[in-house]
Structure 1
């Protein structure tokens, strides 16, 4: 169950008490210090962001509703057959601009060849990821047919050719993709805010990760079970470095680096 406002506030106060200050002070890992100061904290605005944010504004101002075609509790409380306005989906299910920019900069820095996203929604995060590395290919899975159609149409309109959108449930489509590709260089998990399922998905992708892979997990404080799952992911013996940015977490698998966990500030946090 999602945390209420009080639960989120308590989590944030705990985070602020333990996190390092902005500016990179206190980060003793050269790898993390460089990543934080040049990629995470350096929140520059690229011209490519404009077309994505124009699309977001279009959706936020849209009064059109769609009929949900799958159970999607983890997205915004909607269920199959419910009429939901596109503006609500864009407001509640899409990544905020600061997280979209972060995804862009991480992908742009590491240039992953094979990318995976669990939870396309209306396609905003997909576009940030795909545009960051046009030479890579992004597999993105969405379980709601109606929402999937909206995203797919926008990808075509914007002529983004390195996205392979897939409509289906994660439990079925994820293993299928894992069998098809040589490995995953970048993964963004943002489609099912359930700690148990998060661990299941991670166990599917884990054998396909390499020492240069990056995994970003959104909404790690959505609920108590998501926080528990995040702690378990951090403790995984194959994870060398984890970075907690309050809303999301970033995992690295690099060899030759002592296992470390960081709590760092970014964006509004």
Structure 2
């Protein structure tokens, strides 16, 4: 999790943008979608209603953090908090402002479960809730998660211990200094979730750093793509990059794909 001041959309602006998205997006039922891959994604991932064994366990940990009044010191590296964070943070406030909501945490789980990536890279561990969902998607997969703050990473380590998760490697420090070694450690990156430093330049740079380590089966997911003008600019540049053959905009997250059998680049905006 990265924290700093940044001009982000306020609640009214974000609400208006979401309304525009909701009105113009495909209805999320697959009607009128001509891509077999996207139709399959809608039916078997977005609309999957299954409840899995791990969901309740992870959400119990989230609930505990939402009432945890412990104060910790947090290093500031970039953008991320909507609450005007200072160096001292209360865990329950971090949980409220920084954790991905259950709906999207479980969507990431469903994506990883369906496409079965062997190596998962996460930029932005926070308290470890999303990481735990990704870990549970396949106990045989390798999860490498990066967190800027040492004390937040320590809380996340406790999350993984509580849940008995063994397939997670934590790396702590500024992404600018840790991403390169993490990529070399992972080798091929089948799945990456980028949730940190919500600014244009770092986001695009992280994408370009990850790019040499992907295959055409890899999936990259970017968080908060409509969080600010900078993030929207970053999303536009990434989805239009020559290596990307398809993108899916779900408003709060964006997915890019690299399959070479997608002969014509396509961009989809889907209601979720």
Residue in 2 that maps onto 1:66 = 72
TM-score, normalised to structure 2's length? 0.93
C-alpha spacing 1:61/1:72, structure 2 compared with 1 (3 Å):
farther
The reply to whether residue 78 of structure 1 matches residue 85 of structure 2 is yes
Conserved 8 A contact 2:28-2:42: no
Which of 230, 233, 237 does residue 228 from structure 1 map onto? 233
Q: Which runs of 4+ in 1 moved over 2 A?
A: 69-73, 75-79, 179-182
Which of 53, 70, 93 does residue 47 from structure 1 map onto? 53
Which of 133, 139, 148 does residue 144 from structure 2 map onto? 139
Gaps of 5+ in 2: 1-6
User: Counterpart of 1:243 in 2: which secondary structure?
Assistant: strand
Which of 13, 16, 39 does residue 22 from structure 2 map onto? 16
C-alpha spacing 1:29/1:199, structure 2 compared with 1 (3 Å):
same
Residue in 1 that maps onto 2:63 = 57
Q: How far apart in 2 are the matches of 1:8 and 1:69? A: 27
How many residues are aligned here?
Answer: 264
Q: How far apart in 2 are the matches of 1:159 and 1:47? A: 14
Q: How far apart in 2 are the matches of 1:47 and 1:75? A: 31
Gaps of 5+ in 1: none
Conserved 8 A contact 1:148-1:167: yes
Residue in 1 that maps onto 2:4 = none
Kindly report the root-mean-square deviation, in angstroms, between the aligned alpha carbons of the 2 structures.
1.3
Which of 6, 12, 23 does residue 6 from structure 1 map onto? 12
Conserved 8 A contact 1:241-1:259: yes
User: Counterpart of 1:11 in 2: which secondary structure?
Assistant: helix
Give the CA deviation at 1:62: 1.4
